[in-house]
Amino acid sequence: MDRIKSLLVGALCALLVSAPAYAAPEDEPRWEDMVADIAIARPFGLVATVGGSALFVVSLPFTALGGNVQQAADTLVVKPAKSTFQRCLGCTSSGRYRDPEAR
């Protein structure tokens, strides 16, 4: 049973890593991209946002002493949150969807 779980997690990771490789940023998102995004990427993004927030709070004393609080906040909290909540469904880059034909 553990082997099946490991294979499943590996397959999901491979899917997440390879998804942006075939999608051009100016293309309209396909329905397959949207389904994979809502079923796989968004839940992982939410977990990354919550986990990154917890790690940021734990690392705050050290980052404050090192003088890189803003960099840690951007990396651990802001980037995962933008990817989860501000990226259009099926898009590979953050921000709202802009139709390439509309100028």
Chain center to CA of 44: 7
Instruction: Identify whether the C-beta of residue 87 lies closer than 8 Å to the C-beta of residue 93.
Output: yes
Domain locations in the chain as residue ranges: 45-88
State residue 29's pLDDT score.
83
Intervals of the chain under pLDDT 50: 18-24
Give the span between the Cα atoms of 36 and 26, in whole angstroms.
19
Give the span between the Cα atoms of 27 and 101, in whole angstroms.
10
The pTM (predicted TM-score) of the whole model is 0.65
